[in-house]
Structure 1
Amino acid sequence: MSRAQTAAVAAAAAAAAAPAFLATSGVKAVASGHSAQLRGSQTAGSASLSAPAALLGSASALLAAQICGKVGKPRRSMTVVTAFENELGVQAPLGFWDPLGLSKDGDVYSFKRRRSVEIKHGRICMLATMGYITPEIAGKFPGYLDPTIKLKFEDIPNGLAAISKVPLAGWIQMIAYAGFCEISAGYDADVNKRTPGDMGWKPPLFGNNSPEMKQRRLNVEIANGRLAMMAIIGMFFQDGLTGQAWGDWANYTDSPLRAFENELGVQAPLGFWDPLGLSKDGDVYSFKRRRSVEIKHGRICMLATMGYITPEVAGKFPGYLDPTIKLKFEDIPNGLAAISKVPLAGWIQMIAYAGFCEISAGYDADVNKRTPGDMGWKPPLFGNNAPEMKQRRLNVEIANGRLAMMAIIGMFFQDGLTGQAWGDWANYTDSPLRAKVA
């Protein structure tokens, strides 16, 4: 038999065995409930039925490859494993959400173990959340929690404060009941034999056990448990900081923000806004120092913004800025280009005036003795100094200063890129957004 004929016979044998390969190695593991065990493996039944055919096919294919002299590295097939993305708890809008990649190894036991723990934690948190809410709305049981020490139910405070009041026997009962629930249902049996969270107890009055209804109920339970975990942590947080289960945040007297939340500059819609947490240390001097600097920067930026606008609208002064060098006001360009035109004496005058304002008012005196930004100068024509009016004017000044700081930066940006204080953006020929013309 020629080499070509031998190869043809071997190929035919391999083709006859192809169904065996399709049955064993072409499995796509799509988990729904308990089918996640696949993960590229095969069942004992299919293996026993197809083993002879698979062996024959393998031998024939190897023989054909050897005869043809084309033996190479075996091709590795990729099996798509979607072991967990169709499990309970995969819900909109996040879908299958595993930001830490805990299930990327495809370990089915570990996944089911975590899901079991999540469900049980959710149940405990739902009970704890209702335990916070119910006594506040419905009141507490009458009578004694522990008659031996005359401890009444009404003597137990709601929330975290109850931890120190519940007697030792009460804690032992709660821990023992949790252990009973685990052991009586078979420890880890919900993971190994049933579905996560299935402790063998069927709630009454839930007669409709159709698969769709059961799936929906279980998903609702998981979602409610997740919500309860978030809720109980929020309740612990509020309780711990205010001292009451439903405490008023006004009781949080140790808040480092308390010192500043009613200060000037705390305005709608942001209120007290400190995204970098610069004032979380509660340092009053540092806060007032920053507020003083903010107000002064705002004043400079208001002057600078008007300095950009006024010459464009009203024109420039007549005459000379510096007669000694015959420099007229109209020779000074508007905007950033003026930096190189203003003579040294002009810069010295501006810096000297700023220093005079600081020193004459007492350096840092507005922080240490007065209020931030108070340089001891009262604007004329503002006779009404009622506290409410003064508060409103100072808040307006701070708000205008903040707006001017944004405005002048925008003007610098436009000026620097277009070459003019009121430049046309068409002049920004270096823009990376400008279409390239071939």
Structure 2
Amino acid sequence: MQQLGLGAIRERTSRVALRATAAKGDVFQPAKQMGATAPLGFFDPVGFSKEGDESGFRNLRAAEIKHGRVAMMAAVGAVAQHYIQFPGFEGVPADLAAVTTAPGSYGFAALFILSGVAELAIWKQDDKKEPGNFGDPLGLGQYNEDMRGKELNNGRMAMIAALGIVAADIFTGKDGMQQLGLGAIRERTSRVALRATAAKAKSKVEVFQPAKQLGAMAPLGFFDPAGFTKDEIGFRNFRMAEIKHGRAAMMAAVGAVAQHYIKLPGFDGVPSGMAAPSTGAGNWGFAALIILSGVVELAIWTQDYKKEPGNFGDPLGLGQRLGLEYNEDIRGKELNNGRMAMFAAFGIIVADVFTGKDGMQQLGF
């Protein structure tokens, strides 16, 4: 847009200007920082880290370290959970299905909450220290340049390993160890086997048709250009995800407008935009919403596969009070409103990031 002469000039300096500045003085060089390791050296083909942008580099490095640490624990866990099960968790599968199978879902919720508390309240980044340095609470005295380099490289390898384990689990139905040919084959059938079974039974029974399900609306009809929905189980999972994202987006879109005008007690100094989750009391409110959402999704609104996706019953009895029924008409309206809200929420967030204005300010209010 700035190439057309619209909008204020951004603070980020162009590469040409950065090179000219580098000729005059000492400019921050991402390629000379810790982590540039042979044989690739400094690997940033998309150019996220700009010369002179130390703040941006620190944010990316902090994210890399956090993701690497999580991936290392995840890769080890993918192996350990094949052999180790805590008391009371004997019936929980040893793969991705564990997070959706009680009581594994409760354990996942507990880990999620613990991680949020640790990141938001305990392990807080000090801008005076290098990214990832949260002190030495155990007195190990090993956080030196050599250990930092090893941690970065191990974390990078672990991210690739964890991604491979997750992708293989989704397509084969085997956990981290079974993918290596170890252990008994799990009972859960892989997607490939499900498709083959459906093809054989096509001539005998009616095959599930995603294109004929609720949500195929004019003018697009059934929109799945990437072909994700192959079977009924997969379709139901995607439909549940779509409904949940739509509901969250509808609340987010309304909240983006409401927070411009409404301030709860104690949140007077919190900005009414994307900066809210990282400012003062706003980050505690954000953490509380994350925890509440996890409890609701994993423990209260659990999906009954005998019902249509998104039907969690009517605990408040609104159907009887308001004369509403979770029928096909209401479900269709919810889907379409949720889809529109996802576009709206995404647009508000992107505009806020680039303009610094909240949902109402973007409209000139």
Q: Which has the higher contact order (CA 8 A, sep 6+)?
A: 2
Q: Same fold (TM over 0.5)?
A: no
How high is the TM-score relative to the length of structure 1? Answer: 0.34
